[in-house]
Amino acid sequence: MLDYDEEAERYDTLRGGEPRARAAADAVLGLVPAGARVLLDVACGTGIVTRRLPAARPGLRVTGADLSASMTRMAAARLPGAVVRADSRRLPFGDARFDAVVSVWLLHLMSGPADVTAVVGECARVLRPGGVYVTTVHKGASHNVGSDIDAVLAARPPSPVPDAPDAVGACAAGHGLLPAGEARFRGHGQGRSPRRAIADLRRGWFVTLTPGEPLAEEFATRLADLPDQDRPRPDPEFALRAYRKPAGGNP
């Protein structure tokens, strides 16, 4: 697992920067009702996506929350006075505070179903009746673009998938949320080259390949044998799901 405090300074550069942030914000806003006035971005990271939401939707007031101290500091510089440090499993907000709640690139980081349920439950709790919760699902699958890199990595030990769409949908339903739409967006600038895949492997990106272990180095060797070491393969495409809290409070 990556250390997001250590990752903060280079996070945006390694993940597509502004083009990816623009694509993510546009896709999220496409699922947020036009009448929404207050939005919570859970696990807002550096705030690169978060700050685009009110900029693109005048009248929308946005609050960001993230557990990483370094990420929170960077987000606060982009959204002064609108970012708090918080655990997504225990949000420091009262019930029914927000018209929309967003968690982009969060659920895949959870340690298991109990944590996913806790996050979705908290997002549902702080959501007002009639509001919408928007989240990415199955992030790991988004990175499998059918490239030669994916063919090599297919043999690695399988990773858990805490953000599987069916599992997330079941959690949402368990908290009284109803399906309210889907969207996809491109991860601009995130297409890996073999050389970058090796670097990602050695800094702990692939959770079942521990950096420095013999198995990880075996995969690094296989990746180093691929042609065009610096040519990025296709960008990933991320999936969003939206869930609505019924206006009456119950499905």
CATH code for the domain of 37: 3.40.50.150
**Cα separation of 156 and 158, whole Å?**
6
Q: How confident is the model at residue 72, as a pLDDT? A: 93
Q: Is residue 207 part of a domain?
A: no
Question: Cα 90–207–85 angle (5° rounding)?
Answer: 25
Domain that residue 165 falls in? 4-144+160-191+235-245
Whether the pLDDT of residue 10 is over 60: the answer is no
Q: Is residue 90 part of a domain?
A: yes
Q: Is residue 223 part of a domain?
A: no
Whether the pLDDT of residue 156 is over 70: the answer is yes
How does pLDDT run across 187-240, given as a tens digit for each residue? 998 999 999 999 999 988 888 999 999 999 999 999 999 999 999 999 999 999
Neighbours of 135 (CB within 10 A): 28
Q: How confident is the model at residue 251, as a pLDDT? A: 44
Q: Is residue 121 part of a domain?
A: yes
Q: How confident is the model at residue 17, as a pLDDT? A: 67
Q: How confident is the model at residue 9, as a pLDDT? A: 62
Instruction: Give the total number of structural domains in the chain.
Output: 1
Work out the average pLDDT over 166-191: 96
Q: Is residue 99 part of a domain?
A: yes
Q: Is residue 181 part of a domain?
A: yes
DSSP 26-74: HHHHTTS-TT--EEEEET-TTSTTTTHHHHHSTT-EEEEEES-HHHHHH
34 CB-near residues (< 8 Å, 6+ apart): none
Whether the pLDDT of residue 3 is over 80: the answer is no
Whether the pLDDT of residue 1 is over 90: the answer is no
> To the nearest whole percent, how much of the chain has pLDDT over 90?
83
Q: Is residue 110 part of a domain?
A: yes
Residues 27-46: b if buried by 16+ CB within 10 A, e if exposed: bbbebbeeebeebbbbbbbb
How does pLDDT run across 28-86, given as a tens digit for each residue? 999 999 999 999 999 999 999 999 999 999 999 999 999 999 989 999 999 999 999 99
- Per-residue confidence band for 96, with pLDDT thresholds at 50, 70 and 90: very high
Q: Is residue 126 part of a domain?
A: yes
- Per-residue confidence band for 250, with pLDDT thresholds at 50, 70 and 90: very low
> Could you tell me which residue, 8 or 123, shows the higher pLDDT?
123
